[in-house]
Amino acid sequence: MIYSLDKINEMADGDNDFIVSVVTVFLEEVPQDLAALEAAIERQDFEQIRKMAHKIKPNVDLLGMEATRANALDLETLGKNQGSIEEIKTKFPLLKQDVEQVVVELKTDFSI
């Protein structure tokens, strides 16, 4: 398991519906954002790379995915600074793998 519900549990203060809601939003939005990020990388659209990495970052942070959050921050910075597309293409698969793994785990853990 590469995610943690600690931050969400702290925010939820025992409200299980809130936790399920946060997880559901993650499952609905983040895979779409990831696909948009991948498309932006293919187009070498640095502004869109920045925007999508920025959008993904708080979602993975909320699930305690620190390494994934750091990777999203790197991609955001590279997009902002129009950094090396090769570096972006190296970092993105790691982000994608982590998100895809967490999606599977969350669907299993929450029976969604």
* Short-list 36, 33, 8, CA closest to 20: 8
pLDDT, residue 1, reads: 75
pLDDT of 4 higher than 80 = yes
Distance between CA 37 and CA 69 in Å, rounded?
A: 15
pLDDT of 64 higher than 90 = yes
CB under 8 Å to 49, separation ≥6 — which residues? 37, 40, 41, 75, 76, 78, 79, 88
Domain 6-109 CATH (choose: 1.20.120.160, 3.40.50.300, 3.90.700.10, 1.10.730.10): 1.20.120.160
Q: What mean pLDDT comes out for the span 38-63?
A: 97
Amino acid (one-letter) located at 94: L
pLDDT of 100 higher than 90 = yes
Q: What mean pLDDT comes out for the span 4-26?
A: 95
pTM, to two decimals: 0.94
